[in-house]
Chains A and B, each alone.
Chain A
Amino acid sequence: MIETLLTPLHYDYMLKAIFVSAVIGGVCAFLSCFITLKGWSLMGDALSHSVVPGVAVAYYAGWPFAAGAFVTGLLAAVGMGFVKTKTRLREDAVIGVVFTAFFALGLLLISLYPSQVDLRSIVFGNILGISNPDIVQVLIISGVTLVVLGCKWRDLLLFCFDPNQARALGLNTTALHFTLLTLLSATAVAALQTVGACLVVAMLVTPGATAYLLTDRFGKMIGIATTMGVGTSIVGAYASYFFDGSTGGCIVTLQSLVFVAALVWAPKHGLLAQRARRREAGRAEVAS
């Protein structure tokens, strides 16, 4: 029994996968607190799809994949910002138009030169086959993201919560806006490796949403989200060995289960707590 449970840990590739997933899960979770507060959840989705043409081009040109992905991700973000300010279209519609165009472009490139890029590893991630240079890239991205978030988190928090107040206090909100956007692109690129383009948004949203249900304080929220991100990534990657497939699917399914648990049983904002409060209020009314 114990023997079976320990088998995944005997394989080098499993250990690597668990370690890298944990790092990415932690960084994404940290960022997810800001993203959910800011209401940029679908921006994460859009950026993670927009990086596909960059990955394709980077493969042909022999660049590190992260560089290409990062460039197209930012390009898409800038494009969205431009179209949104210049037209009367709603933001969500603009996001939809731009990211699907980028994704289609990536798909076209890959279908034109099929042999070199594995579309599946972009869309679903390929953490079990991650190469050492890719691990280094992921670690560098994660390190830089953590440092920037660590230094700037108060400013970013104020910016996410109330940009007007941030501006009034003399913070450079444009710079903060682009900092957050850049961090988002960078982590989306890193997370692409573990869970793939379709599920990156989960890593960037679910931990923050879960933590938001569980606490009212931002410091605690970061702690809870990061713990959850790291924990689910480790357990999910480990469990995927037994499920014989989709590491990203396992990690994200696990995160969703944790979210559902928080939704139901959260001490203050959960469904049960709300119902209990409502019942108590009803009883108090009857008594009075």
Chain B
Amino acid sequence: MMTTLLEPFQFPFMVDAMIVGVAVGAVCSVLSCYLVLKGWSLMGDAISHAVLPGIVIAYAIRVPLALGAFASGLLCAVLTGFIKANSRVKEDTVMGVVFTGMFAFGLVIFTKVKSDLHLDHILFGNILGLAPGDLRDTLIVAGGTLAVVLALRRDLLLYCFDSGHARTIGLRTDLLHYLLLSLLAVTIVVSLKAVGIILVVAMLVTPGCIAYLLTDRFNRMLLIAAASAVGSSFFGVYLSFFINASTGACIVLLQALVFMVALVWAPKHGLLAARRQRRLAGSAAGASGRAV
């Protein structure tokens, strides 16, 4: 029994996968708290799809793939901002137009550039097949991103919560805007290996939502989000070993499960708590009605 449970840890690729999964989960979850507050959840979706042409072009001209991915992700965000500012089309529509255009372009050139890139790995992640340097790269980038976010945690929070106020007290909001976008793009590029383009957005939204349901304080929110993401990543990788299923899907489904639990049983903002409050209010109203 015990040996079966410990079996995954005997494979170096499983241990690597767990470390990378946990690192990626931690970075994404911390960022997700800001995104959820700022209302940028779907920006993550857009940027993650838009990295595809960057990866293909980077491969073709022999620059590091991460660089290409980062550049084209950021280009998507900048283009969205530009078109939104200069036309009357709504932001969500602009986002839809830009990221699908870039993704489609990526697909077209992918078929033209002869490469040994696996589209499946880009789309769905390949955490069990990490290359030797991947672990180190992921840890360095994830650590750096995490350090920047935590160092600027108050400024970013104020910007996300009330950008007008942030500007009034003299913060460079345009700088913070692009900083947050860049952090988002970097995080997505790091996470691609673990969960792939399509499910990165889950890592960037769900932990923040879970934490937001559970607490009203931002520092606690960061901790809860990180804990739920790290836990889901670890057990997701672990579980996928036994049921022989897509690792990215396992991680994301565990997060979704935690979200559902929080949705129902959150002490203050959960469904049950809301019902209880309503019933209390109802009986209080009834009591006061009788008293009159």
B104 at the A interface (CB under 8 A): yes
Interface size range of chain B in the complex: 35 or more
B248 touches A107 (CB 8 A): yes
Chain A residue at minimum C-beta to C-beta distance from B111 = A245
Q: Which of B94, B107, B248, B269 contacts A246 (CB 8 A)?
A: B107
Stretch of A5-13, A172-180, A199-207 that contacts chain B = A199-207
Chain B residues closer than 8 Å to A274, beta-carbon distance:
86
B95 at the A interface (CB under 8 A): yes
Stretch of A39-47, A63-71, A128-136 that contacts chain B = A39-47
A112 touches B263 (CB 8 A): no
Interface flags for B88-101 (1: CB within 8 Å of A; 0: not) read 11101111110011
B157 at the A interface (CB under 8 A): no
Q: Total interface residues on A, using CB and 8 Å?
A: 62
Chain A residue at minimum C-beta to C-beta distance from B106 = A249
CA distance A92 to B38 in the complex (A): 10
CB distance from A274 to the nearest CB of B (A): 7
- Listed from nearest, the 7 A-B pairs whose CB atoms lie closest are A256-B101, A245-B111, A249-B107, A100-B202, A252-B104, A202-B100, A101-B256
A86 at the B interface (CB under 8 A): yes
Chain A residues closer than 8 Å to B90, beta-carbon distance:
36, 39, 41
A206 touches B97 (CB 8 A): yes
Chain B residues closer than 8 Å to A244, beta-carbon distance:
111
Chain B residue at minimum C-beta to C-beta distance from A196 = B107
CA distance A45 to B107 in the complex (A): 17
Q: Which of A90, A119, A198, A209 contacts B93 (CB 8 A)?
A: A209
Chain B residues closer than 8 Å to A36, beta-carbon distance:
89-90, 93
A22 at the B interface (CB under 8 A): no
Chain A residues closer than 8 Å to B75, beta-carbon distance:
none
Chain B residues closer than 8 Å to A87, beta-carbon distance:
213, 263, 269
Chain B residues closer than 8 Å to A110, beta-carbon distance:
246
B101 touches A41 (CB 8 A): no
B222 at the A interface (CB under 8 A): no
A103 touches B245 (CB 8 A): no
A164 at the B interface (CB under 8 A): no
A234 at the B interface (CB under 8 A): no
Q: Which of A42, A104, A251 contacts B253 (CB 8 A)?
A: A104
13 cross-chain CB contacts under 8 A: A42-B96, A45-B42, A96-B201, A100-B201, A108-B246, A112-B244, A123-B123, A199-B107, A206-B96, A212-B88, A245-B110, A250-B104, A253-B105
Q: Which of A96, A111, A251, A259 contacts B97 (CB 8 A)?
A: A259
CB distance from A63 to the nearest CB of B (A): 22
A83 at the B interface (CB under 8 A): yes
CA distance A83 to B269 in the complex (A): 12
CA distance A119 to B208 in the complex (A): 29
Interface flags for A90-130 (1: CB within 8 Å of B; 0: not) read 10111111001101110110111000000110011000000
A16 at the B interface (CB under 8 A): no
B41 touches A90 (CB 8 A): yes
CB distance from B139 to the nearest CB of A (A): 25
Chain A residues closer than 8 Å to B87, beta-carbon distance:
213, 263, 269, 271
Chain A residues closer than 8 Å to B230, beta-carbon distance:
none
Q: Which of B100, B108, B274 contacts A86 (CB 8 A)?
A: B274
Q: Which residues of B, 1-53, contact A by the 8 Å Cβ criterion?
A: 35-36, 39-42, 44-45, 49
B101 touches A45 (CB 8 A): no
B205 touches A245 (CB 8 A): no
Q: Which of B104, B206, B208, B209 contacts A256 (CB 8 A)?
A: B104
Q: Which residues of B, 103-124, contact A by the 8 Å Cβ criterion?
A: 103-108, 110-112, 119-120, 123-124
A217 at the B interface (CB under 8 A): no
Chain B residues closer than 8 Å to A61, beta-carbon distance:
none
Q: Which residues of B, 214-252, contact A by the 8 Å Cβ criterion?
A: 243-246, 248-250, 252
Q: Which of B39, B49, B199 contacts A104 (CB 8 A)?
A: B199
CA distance A243 to B95 in the complex (A): 27
Chain B residue at minimum C-beta to C-beta distance from A262 = B87
A97 touches B205 (CB 8 A): yes
B59 at the A interface (CB under 8 A): no
Chain B residues closer than 8 Å to A119, beta-carbon distance:
120
CA distance A39 to B95 in the complex (A): 11
A163 at the B interface (CB under 8 A): no
Chain A residue at minimum C-beta to C-beta distance from B207 = A97
Chain B residues closer than 8 Å to A256, beta-carbon distance:
97, 100-101, 104-105
Chain B residues closer than 8 Å to A1, beta-carbon distance:
none
Given the known inter-chain contacts A87-B213, A95-B42, A246-B111, please indicate yes or no for A49 contacting B198, CB distance below 8 A. Answer: yes
A168 at the B interface (CB under 8 A): no
Q: Which residues of B, 55-104, contact A by the 8 Å Cβ criterion?
A: 83, 86-90, 92-97, 100-101, 103-104
